[in-house]
């Protein structure tokens, strides 16, 4: 539980915006920035994981457990496996309550990834 790799971007100083990274259009990324950001993109680069992420992100209350997710066409152990991968990549947080682990999207992740893809105002 405490042994998962958490992205640096999920550990911002209290109340501050996540530090990684500038918009992709701003300047060439450094190797470190690319490592951090690529991990997020890679986690969403699988159709099943993306469906699960979307299922959690759009679920009532902004959180969901395996028990809420049944229609992505894979077994429950596979769902659990992918949810754990999304958590390990820092995209979801989780909390055990009774029988189930509930997953929640980190709003800071959406903000960080959205910032990466920001379009320069000159091109808007």
- Closest distance between its own copies and the C-beta of residue 32, in Å? 9
Residue 76, interface with its own copies (CB under 8 A)?
Answer: no
Residue 14, interface with its own copies (CB under 8 A)?
Answer: no
Closer residue to its own copies, CB minimum distance, 81 or 96: 81
> Sign (positive/negative) of CA torsion 115, 117, 123, 124?
negative
Residue 6, interface with its own copies (CB under 8 A)?
Answer: no
Q: Which of 8, 12, 46, 88 binds its own copies (CB under 8 A)?
A: 46
Q: Which of 4, 6, 17, 54 binds its own copies (CB under 8 A)?
A: 54
């Amino acid at each position: 539980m405490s042994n998962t790799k958490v992205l640096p971007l999920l550990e911002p100083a209290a109340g501050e915006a996540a530090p990684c990274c500038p918009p992709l259009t701003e300047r060439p990324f450094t190797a470190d920035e690319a490592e951090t950001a690529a991990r997020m993109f890679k986690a969403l680069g699988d159709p099943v994981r993306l469906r699960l992420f979307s299922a959690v992100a759009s679920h009532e209350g902004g959180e969901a457990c395996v028990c809420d997710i049944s229609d992505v066409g894979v077994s429950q152990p596979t769902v659990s496996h992918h949810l754990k991968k999304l958590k390990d990549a820092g995209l979801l947080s989780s909390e055990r309550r009774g029988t189930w682990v509930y997953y929640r999207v980190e709003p800071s992740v959406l903000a960080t990834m959205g910032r990466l893809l920001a379009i320069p105002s000159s091109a808007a």
